[in-house]
Amino acid sequence: MLNVENCKGCGKLVLRKPGHPFCPACAASRAKEVRRIKHYILRHPSETILDIHRNAGIPPKAIHELIREDRVQLQ
C-alpha cells in the first residue's frame, strides 16, 4: 500500500516523505519565496513582516510559516 498524503500547499495527493509535506511544484514555489525573502532582507535588514509582504509580494502567513520552520530569520 502506498503512503500518500495531501500537499500542504495545494492539496494534491503526493507520496509521503518525512519532512517534505509539499508536492514538487509547491516545494519549488516555497524555495522561490525563501530566496525572494532572503534577498529582500539582505537589502532591507530592519523591515517588518508587513513591509516584506508589501514589497516582495509574499503573503504574511507564508512568511510566518517560513520563520517557524527556521528557513528565514528576521533581525
> If the chain, 75 residues long, is cut into consecutive pieces of 10 residues, what is the mean pLDDT of each piece?
87 88 93 93 92 92 91 84
Q: What pLDDT sits at residue 48? A: 92
What region does 57 belong to: left with phi over 0, alpha with psi -120 to 50, or beta?
left
pTM above 0.85, yes or no: no
Cα three-residue angle 10-15-19, rounded to 5 degrees = 80
Cell of 49: 513582516
Q: What pLDDT sits at residue 1? A: 63
